[in-house]
Amino acid sequence: MSALLQVSNLVTEFGGGGGHPGLKAVNDVSFTVSRGKVLGLVGESGSGKTVTGFSILRLLERPGRIAGGRILFDGTDIASCSEEEMRQLRGKRIAMVFQDPMMTLNPVLTIGTQMVEAVQAHDKVSKEVARQRSRDALGLVGIPSPEERLSSYPHQFSGGMRQRVAIAIALLHQPDLIIADEPTTALDVTIQSQIIYEFQRLAEESNTAVVWITHDLAIVSRLADDIAVMYAGRLVETGPVGKVLTDPRHPYTAGLIASVPSQNRRGEPLHQIRGMTPPINRLPEGCSFRTRCDRATEACRIMPGLIPEEDRSFRCIHPVMKEVA
């Protein structure tokens, strides 16, 4: 069975034109997500995760543009869809949840008004049916007394509850794919756990595919089936989450994992990847990570391609190999 979402060699640029090359915020990125599976898209700030999500939904604002590659959603080429076809897909078959729920919610309308509008934007149903669906969606994400809460305004909810409402709106049309961009980053850990649990259930029971964008490896290890690690706009490692997080190949992935606090390393100083991610207009030639990498050699002045190994791949000619005891 082919994957629901197939992103192949995606390039997204900002600026450029008039003979000048644009800045590649996303450069030659490929991954797939199947129904019922969760892909964790990880990387430091500025690595291109959000731009990848926005490219899939064609939500890029000028001067951003898809400059190359292909995004196939259930067989449909997103790049060649008309704006009207995209409007039909967005919210109905592909939904996005943002870190800040107020990107979704309108502060001056009640939750009920917004949810009914969201239902009726895609389905010709009566207001009563739309309200019932809204109540059900609020109940699904654990909002108590959904009927009463439909009359509330966003500011009458706590931050965690507002995020649940935003997720409920994303679920209204039972989308096939949800792109969740750091939806739990601003929430305390108990609410975070509940929301992660809801997404797990969604993937398992409703067969929804999820792209979960985050810099938090702990969340990815709990939630995701597969992981795609981005660095400076490129994918540097991808594969099943269990394999990549326990036995990483790319030194950047290994550095990220070593930076996560762990009970096993209590008392040891926390590892830090030295230096900072260079801005995309000042990337070193060759491997973008080489200026921060302890394994780099002269040979890294040439950008390596993705090297396949069984069901995973990595972009490094000096990969990390776990020592076998």
The distance of closest approach from Cβ of residue 47 to ligand ATP in the complex, given in angstroms and rounded to an integer, is 4
Stretch that binds ligand ATP, among 43-51, 135-143, 162-170, 244-252 (CB under 6 A): 43-51
| C-alpha span between 61 and 14 (Å, rounded) | 9
Q: Which residue has the tokens 């197939």?
A: 6
| C-alpha span between 196 and 319 (Å, rounded) | 32
- Residue 165 near residue 101, CB atoms below 8 Å: yes
49 binds ligand ATP (CB under 6 A): yes
Residue 64 or 69: which CB sits closer to ligand ATP?
A: 64
Q: Which of 249, 179, 257 is nearest to 221 (CA)?
A: 257
The distance of closest approach from Cβ of residue 222 to ligand ATP in the complex, given in angstroms and rounded to an integer, is 19
Residue 25 or 236: which CB sits closer to ligand ATP?
A: 25
319 binds ligand ATP (CB under 6 A): no
Cα dihedral 225→191→214→254 (10° resolution): -70
Q: What SS3 state is found at 122?
A: helix
Residue 239 identity: G
Whole-Å CA distances, 167 to 21, 27, 50, 220: 38, 30, 18, 18
Candidate residues 46, 112, 183, 255; the one interacting with ligand ATP per rule CB under 6 A: 46
48 binds ligand ATP (CB under 6 A): yes
The distance of closest approach from Cβ of residue 285 to ligand ATP in the complex, given in angstroms and rounded to an integer, is 18
50 binds ligand ATP (CB under 6 A): yes
Q: In what order do the strands lie in the sheet with 307-309?
A: 94-97, 177-181, 209-214, 38-42, 226-231, 234-240, 312-314, 307-309
58 binds ligand ATP (CB under 6 A): no
Phi, psi of 73 (to 5 degrees): -115, 115
Stretch that binds ligand ATP, among 42-50, 102-110, 203-211, 305-313 (CB under 6 A): 42-50
- Residue 46 near residue 279, CB atoms below 8 Å: yes
Candidate residues 40, 43, 101, 239; the one interacting with ligand ATP per rule CB under 6 A: 43
The size of the interface with ligand ATP (CB under 6 A), counted in residues, is: 13
Stretch that binds ligand ATP, among 38-46, 267-275, 299-307, 314-322 (CB under 6 A): 38-46
Where in 192-231 is the site for ligand ATP (CB under 6 A)?
Answer: 215
Strands, E assignment, the chain: 5-14, 23-33, 38-42, 64-73, 76-77, 94-97, 177-181, 209-214, 226-231, 234-240, 307-309, 312-314
Residue 191 or 228: which CB sits closer to ligand ATP?
A: 228
20 binds ligand ATP (CB under 6 A): no
Stretch that binds ligand ATP, among 44-52, 109-117, 120-128, 144-152 (CB under 6 A): 44-52
Residue 208 or 277: which CB sits closer to ligand ATP?
A: 277
115 binds ligand ATP (CB under 6 A): no
25 binds ligand ATP (CB under 6 A): yes
Burial 294-314 (b: 16+ CB within 10 A, else e): eebeeebeebbebeeeeebbb
Tokens representing residue 240 in the block: 């099943």
Residue 14 or 289: which CB sits closer to ligand ATP?
A: 14
Where in 251-280 is the site for ligand ATP (CB under 6 A)?
Answer: 280
24 binds ligand ATP (CB under 6 A): no
Residues in contact with ligand ATP by the rule CB under 6 A: 14, 25, 43, 45-51, 64, 215, 280
